[in-house]
Structure 1
Amino acid sequence: MQASLREAQTIFYVEGWELKLGASSLFAIARSFKSFLNYVRKTNSVKVWEIIDEAETRLTPLRISELNDLARTKGLEFTLHAPFLDVNFASLSPYMRKASLKHLENSLFKAYLLGCRVLVVHGGFYPHVSVKDRAYELSRNSIRKLALKAVDYGVKIAVENGPAGYSFLYVEADEVLKQFSLLSELENVGLCLDVGHANTSSELKHFLQKAGDLILHVHIHDNDGKRDLHLYPGEGTVDWHLVFEGLKQTSFDGYIIVETASSPLLGVKTVEKWLKARG
């Protein structure tokens, strides 16, 4: 089994399977946007960036213009991660839910302006187990509204599985399958498989086996199997052979984004080495 890298495109081919590898701006959400922009300018090995529309990397018209200029000069592609801090479009409060959905709709428009194919969203969380089913219902309603707007922009919505231990929705593979079966009329909605999150719930194998057809987008990072640490791939307990074999079996052809708390370049280089060495 051989893998090759097209220089400066971050695209790998493993036995005819195409992997598009990119990096997330997660490491920069507490830094200045200017420092992140300079980081991207100096980085030639990553051509796909997922921008987190949150905190210090929150997008404004000027920042969108600067990113589009970079895309033209450096041949970059972008995906967008919608806001998730203080956002819950599954909230039982109609005021909170409406405000959260409006926040995500604004981010959807930014994704359109950046030429993104994918907008990643968190599916929400529930305050108590007694209202979990109701929270799922409200989450589905919000996803429908967002997806209908996304059709006009040519953007797909990738709902991210949550980590264990925080009252997030969409944590277990069976839950995800059930909820997506109730959203089956939406052709532009899929799953963002967050590998690190799935590792915290011991659900990684189940996601790959049961929900493979739903996977639209992938986040990769590592942890100790308990905490959502966003470590470099290889620094924790994730079974990476399982991950790449599982994705290959699903014929996944979307973006694989290295989403680490520290500069993602080491993570990107680690994955590149793994793919080159397969065989």
Structure 2
Amino acid sequence: MIGISTYCLIEEPLSDALDRLSAHTRLIEVMDEGLHSVTSPELFGSYSADFTIHAPFHGLNIACVFEPIRTASVGVITDCFAVAAEIGAPVVLHPGYFAWENERELAGRQFKKSLRELNAAARDLSVTFSFENMGGMNFFNLRTPDDLAIIEGSKFTLDVGHANLNRCLPGFLATPFSHLHLHDNNGKQDSHSTVGEGNIDFRPVISAMKQKNATAVIEVKSFDGAVESLRILERW
């Protein structure tokens, strides 16, 4: 199943975004940020679509070397888990980052601490979550297939655009994943472009998605681009 992220309508109220997207897809990923912050699970009861939630990430860092920030970040995501549990939605997370190369090891230990806490919260709330691979900036965790060990067997969301930036999409397609974020780029900028506007060959992506029985959402920056991307991908 291929759906659409509310990212393409992030400047509209969440209810309006859900109305517009539900006319085109049965799977919607809510980017839990800004106007789309998920505070009322009751909102989702009037829609027949299935939902996933992209947990908040601006200002958060579950690998932060400053313990109060790490703890607060885990708390915000745990609150997201609680809402996701009421909706019955899996959650996608960012894996955190380090600010300086000499903090990489400490940030890795902080991430492992957060992972233990998030696993416990997910068990308590009966929620599933996955980590997505990140883009081209050197300080992000989880940029290449070799980095997958850090998530210690947690579920994985393959962000196709981010993998293209790091020139490792074929390697990621060979790894286990349960969900995908689909958007195009030119291999240089994280533009979240419409499918076909960049240099990504999506045919092997769709083939791997089918083989792994994974879900996917289109995460492009415009509504028209999202609808066009869905039309193209469904044709394949």
TM-score if structure 2 supplies the norm length?
0.93
Q: Look up the match of 2:233.
A: 271
CA contact (8 A) 2:63 2:110 kept: yes
Q: 2:162 aligns with which of 194, 197, 208?
A: 197
CA contact (8 A) 1:28 1:56 kept: no
Q: Structure 1 CA distance, aligned partners of 2:33 and 2:165? A: 24
Q: Look up the match of 1:130.
A: 102
Q: Look up the match of 1:226.
A: 188
Q: Structure 2 CA distance, aligned partners of 1:137 and 1:225? A: 31
CA contact (8 A) 2:130 2:157 kept: yes
Q: Look up the match of 1:110.
A: 83
CA contact (8 A) 1:222 1:231 kept: yes
Q: Structure 1 CA distance, aligned partners of 2:185 and 2:204? A: 15
CA contact (8 A) 1:160 1:191 kept: yes
Q: Structure 2 CA distance, aligned partners of 1:133 and 1:190? A: 23
Q: Does 1:39 align with 2:15?
A: no
- Structure 1 unaligned spans of 5+: 1-19, 275-279
Q: 1:173 aligns with which of 145, 149, 156?
A: 145
* Secondary structure class of the residue paired with 1:78: strand
Q: Structure 2 CA distance, aligned partners of 1:196 and 1:120? A: 16
Trace 1:120-269 onto structure 2 (pairs within 5 A).
Answer: 120-165=92-137, 167-176=139-148, 178-180=149-151, 183-184=152-153, 189-209=154-174, 212-213=175-176, 215-248=177-210, 251-263=211-223, 264-269=226-231
Q: Look up the match of 1:7.
A: none
* Secondary structure class of the residue paired with 1:197: helix
CA drift at 1:166: 5.5
Deviations, residues 24-45 of structure 1 (Å, cap 9, x unaligned): 01112233234313323xx433
CA contact (8 A) 1:51 1:79 kept: yes
* Secondary structure class of the residue paired with 2:212: coil
Q: Look up the match of 1:4.
A: none
Q: Single out whichever of 189-198 and 158-167 deviates more from structure 2.
A: 158-167
Q: Look up the match of 1:9.
A: none
CA contact (8 A) 1:28 1:57 kept: no
Greater strand fraction, Structure 1 or Structure 2: 1
Trace 1:26-65 onto structure 2 (pairs within 5 A).
Answer: 26-40=7-21, 43-61=22-40, 64-65=41-42
Q: Structure 1 CA distance, aligned partners of 2:192 and 2:235? A: 20
- Highest Rg: 1 or 2? 1
Q: Structure 1 CA distance, aligned partners of 2:112 and 2:184? A: 29
1:227–1:166 CA distance, 2 compared to 1 (3 A): farther
CA contact (8 A) 1:220 1:259 kept: yes
The total of aligned residue pairs comes to 234
* Secondary structure class of the residue paired with 1:256: strand
